[in-house]
């Protein structure tokens, strides 16, 4: 049996979902026997998202040009894309900047109005990614196959979703234990 090609991606978020993934503890050893982790910000130095990924857990909202480029690449190269956590599902905390009215307003507030010294807007093409005017949940940019809410999703929830996929089944995301936000 071929191993599932698994990836995880971290967009605009706090990495709490990835920390919760690591809370799978000993089950990670079982998982490692059944998957090849082909891309992840955890313990990997891979820079290019690979082709033919079976499952990808996407943490975080789409907030800048780098996030946008990566999520398009992920979707093109992934069979099952999972919105992993509340930021990916709803834009959650990163999306709070939407209330300020666009990227320019956010940058002015953060770097000019609130700066104690050295007021200057960041601008370093190729180094500092350009902000999008609005922070978006993943499904507003690309199609999503499975939604896994939670801030972060519990290790039990992550385990339930991945175990179903390992059996070749789509998880049934019903009941408080699998769909509770926050």
Q: Of the ranges 36-40, 115-119, 170-174, which one carries the lowest mean pLDDT score?
A: 170-174
- What does the longest C-alpha to C-alpha distance in the chain come to? 60
CB-based contact 55:21 (threshold 8 Å): no
- Cα–Cα distances in Å, from 105 out to 98, 122, 136? 10, 13, 17
- Cα–Cα distances in Å, from 90 out to 2, 73, 128, 144? 34, 21, 24, 12
Class of domain 4-99+132-179: alpha beta
Tell me if the pTM is above 0.75: yes
- Residues forming a β-bridge with 39: 7
pLDDT band at 103 (very low <50, low <70, confident <90, very high): very high
For residue 23 the two structure tokens come to 């809370």
User: Would you say residue 116 has pLDDT above 70?
Assistant: yes
Q: Mind listing the pLDDT tens digit for each residue in 2-56?
A: 899 999 999 999 999 999 999 999 999 999 999 999 999 987 777 899 999 999 9
CB-based contact 182:90 (threshold 8 Å): no
- Which value, in Å, is the radius of gyration of the alpha carbons in the chain? 17
Range list of β-strands (E), the chain:
4-10, 35-39, 53-59, 62-64, 78-84, 131-136, 146-148
| Residue 175 or residue 99, greater confidence | 99
pLDDT for 164 equals: 95
For residue 77 the two structure tokens come to 């190269």
pLDDT for 95 equals: 96
Q: Compute the mean pLDDT over every residue in the chain, rounded to the nearest whole number.
A: 92
Distance CA 91, CA 138 (A): 8
Mean pLDDT on 75-98 = 97
């Amino acid at each position: 049996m071929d191993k599932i090609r698994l990836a995880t991606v971290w967009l605009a978020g706090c990495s709490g979902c990835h920390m919760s993934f690591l809370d799978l503890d000993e089950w990670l050893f079982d998982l490692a026997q059944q998957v090849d982790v082909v891309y992840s910000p955890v313990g990997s130095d891979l820079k290019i998202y690979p082709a033919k990924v079976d499952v990808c857990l996407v943490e975080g909202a789409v907030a800048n040009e780098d996030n946008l480029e990566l999520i398009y690449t992920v979707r093109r190269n992934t069979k099952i894309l999972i919105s992993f956590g509340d930021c990916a599902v709803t834009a959650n905390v990163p999306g709070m900047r939407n209330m300020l009215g666009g990227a320019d307003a956010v940058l002015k507030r953060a770097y000019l109005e609130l700066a104690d010294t050295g007021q200057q807007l960041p601008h370093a093409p190729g180094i500092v990614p350009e902000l999008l005017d609005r922070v978006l949940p993943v499904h507003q940019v690309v199609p999503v196959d499975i939604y896994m809410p939670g801030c972060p999703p519990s290790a039990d929830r992550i385990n339930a979703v991945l175990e179903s996929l390992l059996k070749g089944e789509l998880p049934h995301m019903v009941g408080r234990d699998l769909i509770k936000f926050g």
